[in-house]
Amino acid sequence: MMHARPARFALSLILIFACLGSFVSQSEDAPAHFVSGTVTAEGARLREQPSRASNELVRMGFGTVLTLTELVAGKTEEWYQASLTYRGKTYEGFVPCRYVRADGPLLDERGESVYPALPVRVSAETLNRGDNRVGHNWHTEIYVNGQKLTGARTLSLRPGDEVLIRAVITENDSRPDTGEAETRLALTEEDLKNGFDAALDVYVTENAGRYSGYTCHWTITFYFRPVG
C-alpha cells in the first residue's frame, strides 16, 4: 500500500499534462479574429485574389454584409479577405477596402488593431478676401505633409493618421510681405470614407510705407475626397 502513492501521483501528472496539451491545442485551433463589414458601393466585386485583374467570384449590391478576416496589401491598394454566403453558397475572396465599411478594426499577428489605408484625393482653392492696400501681385505655396501641392494629389491615409496642411502667401514686390499658417488634422474613418474640407486663414501684414500695419486676408480651403 505504501507504493501506491507514487503511482497515483504519476497518474495525476499525466492527467494534468493531458489537460494542458488539450488547452494548448484548443488555443492554436481557435478561430481567427474577424469583424463584419458592409459593402458601400453598388456592384463591388469579390475576387479570387487581391487584384482587379483576378477572376470575379460574385458581384455584390450596396448593403451586402461580409465577414472580414484579414487585411491584405495589393499592388496599388489594400484589400479585405472576406467571406460571403449568397443563395446558400459560401464565397471566400478579396474586396477592395475602399468599398467596405468595417464594423471595427482587424487584428495583426501581435493582436494590435490595424486599419486599411484608403486613397484620398487632395486639392486646394485660394480666396483673397481683399488686398486692403497691402499688395496686388501674390505668390501662393500650398503644402500637404511637407509636399508642395500643385493641382491635385492622391494620398494613402488610415484612420488615426495626421495630415499637416500649410500655406504661404508672399507679396511680389521689392520688399515682399509674407504670411503663413498651418495645422494638423487627425483623421477618422468617417473622414476617409465620406471626404471633408479644411480651411486655413492666412494674414499678410504690410511691413513698410504709408500702409504699414494693414493686413490682407486669404482663405485656403483643402478638399479631401475618397477615390473610387
What CATH number is attached to the domain comprising 133? 2.60.40
Structural domains of the chain, count? 2
Q: Which domain holds residue 48?
A: 35-110
Answer with the one of 65, 94, 110 that is the final residue of a domain.
Answer: 110
Please indicate, yes or no, whether residues 182 and 222 belong to a single structural domain of this protein: yes
Please indicate, yes or no, whether residues 170 and 215 belong to a single structural domain of this protein: yes
Please indicate, yes or no, whether residues 137 and 205 belong to a single structural domain of this protein: yes
Please say if the pLDDT value at position 25 is more than 80: no
Question: Contact, 14 vs 7, CB < 8 A?
Answer: no
Please indicate, yes or no, whether residues 106 and 122 belong to a single structural domain of this protein: no
Residue 19 in 3-state DSSP?
helix
What CATH number is attached to the domain comprising 75? 2.30.30.40
Looking at the domain assignment, is residue 214 inside a domain? yes
Mean pLDDT of 194-214: 90
- Ramachandran angles phi, psi of 6, nearest 5°: -55, -35
Looking at the domain assignment, is residue 198 inside a domain? yes
pTM above 0.85, yes or no: no
Looking at the domain assignment, is residue 16 inside a domain? no
Looking at the domain assignment, is residue 167 inside a domain? yes
Please indicate, yes or no, whether residues 132 and 100 belong to a single structural domain of this protein: no
Which strand ranges, in their side-by-side order, compose the sheet holding 162-171?
Answer: 147-148, 138-144, 162-171, 178-186
Looking at the domain assignment, is residue 21 inside a domain? no
Question: Contact, 95 vs 79, CB < 8 A?
Answer: yes
Encode pLDDT of 57-102 as tens digits. 999 999 999 999 999 988 888 999 999 998 889 999 999 998 998 8
